[in-house]
Amino acid sequence: MRLTTSSRRTAARLTAYAAVAAIVLAGAGPSAAQPESGHTTYGDHRCGSRADWKHPNADKHNTRRVRGPIDSSNVADLEVAWTVPIKAPTDRWPGSYATNPVVVDGVMYSQDLDSNVYAIDVRTGQEIWTVMMGSYTNGPNGVAVADGRVFGATLTEVFALDARTGRELWRRKITRNANEGIDMAPGVNNDTVYIATVPSLLRGGYGAGAVGVIWAINARTGAPRWTWDSVPRDLWGHPEINSGGGAWYPPSFDERGDLYLAIANPGPFLGTEEYPWGSSRPGANLYTNSIVKLDGRTGRLIWYRQELPHDIYDWDLQNSPILTTVGGRRVVLTSGKAGFVYLYDRKTGKRLWKTPVGRHNGHDDDNLLAMAGRFDELPDFPVKVYPGVLGGVPAPGAIDRDTVYVAVNDLAATWTSQLPPPIFPAFSDGSGAVVALDLATGRARWTFALDQSPYGGTTISNDLVFTTTFDGKIHAINTRNGRPVWQAQLPGSTNSPVVISGDTLLAASGWPQSADERAEIVAYRLPGKRGGNGCH
C-alpha cells in the first residue's frame, strides 16, 4: 500500500556544518528494569525471545545491544540477502538516509530524510507499504513502533500510522514558528510518545526565537499530555537573536517510567559581530548541553547536570542516555560532540566519571572564558578547533555488561569569524576510532583506529561491536581485544548505523558521493537456518 502526502522541499547549506554529526544514529548492561513483555527484558534477550531491534536504540534503556546468533565465529559468513532503494533525493546535505530502523515481528520500519516511512519484510526485502511524506529534514529521523502503531515526525508534525497498512491514525503540529523543526526518532513508553522540537537547521540555521520543547503525547489520540521547555522562552534575554535546546535522539526510560534526555546546544554560535562569543546569551544558558531526568507522567524536572555551560563551538551533548547498573548502582551514561563520555548516578545526577575521547587541541575551556567575558583570552581568527562541530562522539554509543563503546570522529573545524560556516577538510579526509571504556572507572580498555570518519555510532551483538565509516564500510570489532574481525563494503557512502535482528544485519548507504554509488538499504544474513531466537 502506498500513501502520498504533499511534497515539500527545503535545503540550507548550514545543515552540512552543524548537523551531520547529529544526523547519524543511532546493547545492554545488566539492569533492574522489569520485563517489557514475554521473556524480553530491557537489554537482556533471554532464550526463547525474538532478538528483534524493537526500539530506536534496541531497547528502552538505549543500550544498542542484542543477542542474536551473529558473533565472531560466524560474522564472516554474512551474505547480502536483499537491497531496497532509498526514495529520498540524494543530491543535498546530508544525503537521503541517516536513521536507525526498528524491527518488530519480522517487519523493518524505517524513515528517510524526506520523512518517508517504509515497512519492509525482513526475510524477503519485499516492500509491504510506503508512506510518502515529502518533508525534508536534516535528520537523523526515525520511527518507533508500539501496540500496532508506527510513530514518527515530519519537519513540523508528529504522526501515528497503522503498522499493518500504513494508514494515518493521527497527526499533530508541534512547532511554534518558522525557525523550529523536528528531526529525531520519538521514544514511546506507557502509551505516550515523547519527542522534541529543535532550532531548525533548514530555515537559515539556528534562527532567532526557536525554543526546543519536549512533548509528551497520547499515543492513541495524539492529544498532548504535557510539555517541558528545555530552555526559557525569553532565551536568556534576547529572543530576537538567540535560540537553543531540544533533542536529537530518543530518551531512555527507567522502571518507574521516568525519562532521561540529552539537551542540544544554544545559538548563535560562535556569536555575532555585535555580540561575539555568545554574549547575546549571557550566563550558563540552562538547560543546553545538559542531561536531564524528567517525571514521565508530569514532565516535572527531577534533576539536571549541565556539562558545557555557555557552549560556543556547537558541541551538543546530544546522544541518547544509556541506562545500566555498575556494581549494583543504577547509573546513566551519555556522550556528545565535545568529545567526552560521562557516567552519572541515576537517582541523584551526581557525575561519577568523565573521560575525554578523540583529539582535543586546547579549546575545551573556551566556553568558560567566553561566559566570564574574558574575550582577550579567546583565540584569534582563524582558529582550528578539535573536536570540530562534526567531531567528538557524533552518534549514540553501545554498552555490554562492563564496557561502553563509542565511535569518535577526529575532524577539525577552522573558524574564520563569529558566524558559520567554518572551514572543513574533505569528509573523506576525516579519521576516528572506536574506543572501549570500562564502565566502572571510565578508563580506556582499547582503541581501534579508523581511516575515515564514523558517523554511525556503535552496535553490539554478542562479542562484536559494529560501526560504519563515511567511505561506506561496515566494521566488526572483537569486544574483548579491539581487533578487527570482519568488514563489508556498502554500495555507497554512509552516515547511518548498523541494526541487528536475529540472523540479519541491516545497514544503509544513504549519502552517495558519486554517480557510481547507490542509496540503498542492505540486509546481510547468515546462510542456512542459523536465525531464529538467538539462542546458542
> Which domain CATH number covers 436?
2.140.10.10
* pLDDT digit string, tens, across residues 210-238: 999 999 999 999 999 999 999 999 999 99
Q: How many domains are contained in the chain?
A: 1
Question: Is 128 within a domain?
Answer: no
How many whole angstroms separate alpha carbon 244 and alpha carbon 348?
25
Q: Given this model, what pLDDT does residue 424 score? A: 80
Question: Is 534 within a domain?
Answer: no
Q: Are strands 243-245 and 117-121 parallel, antiparallel or unpaired?
A: unpaired
Q: Given this model, what pLDDT does residue 33 score? A: 32
Question: Is 533 within a domain?
Answer: no
Q: Given this model, what pLDDT does residue 117 score? A: 98
Is residue 50 over pLDDT 80?
no
Question: Is 216 within a domain?
Answer: yes
Cell of 202: 533548514
Question: Is 535 within a domain?
Answer: no
Is residue 42 over pLDDT 80?
no
Q: What is the mean pLDDT of residues 118-145?
A: 97
pTM to 2 decimal places: 0.91
Question: Is 486 within a domain?
Answer: yes
How far separated are the first and last CA of the chain, in Å rounded? 38
How many whole angstroms separate alpha carbon 135 and alpha carbon 117?
11
Question: Is 134 within a domain?
Answer: no
Supply the range of the domain harboring residue 224.
Answer: 2-26+30-122+140-525
Reported as type and span, the H/E element at residue 332 is strand 329-335
How many whole angstroms separate alpha carbon 86 and alpha carbon 508?
9
Is residue 515 over pLDDT 60?
yes
Beta strands in 174-280 (DSSP E): 180-181, 187-189, 192-196, 198-199, 211-218, 224-229, 243-245, 252-253, 259-262, 266-267
Q: Report CA 106 to chain centroid distance, whole Å.
A: 23
Is residue 162 over pLDDT 50?
yes
How many whole angstroms separate alpha carbon 351 and alpha carbon 413?
29
How many whole angstroms separate alpha carbon 436 and alpha carbon 422?
30
Query: What is the per-residue DSSP string for 447-465?
Result: EEEESS---S--EEETTEE
Question: Is 436 within a domain?
Answer: yes
SS (H, E, C) 52-112: CCCCCCCCCCCCCEECCCCCCCCHHHCEEEEEEECCCCCCCCCCCCCCCCEEECCEEEEEC
* pLDDT digit string, tens, across residues 388-440: 999 999 999 999 999 999 999 999 999 999 988 888 888 888 999 999 999 99
Q: What is the mean pLDDT of residues 281-303?
A: 98
Q: What is the mean pLDDT of residues 487-514?
A: 97
State whether residue 209 is helix, strand or coil. Answer: coil
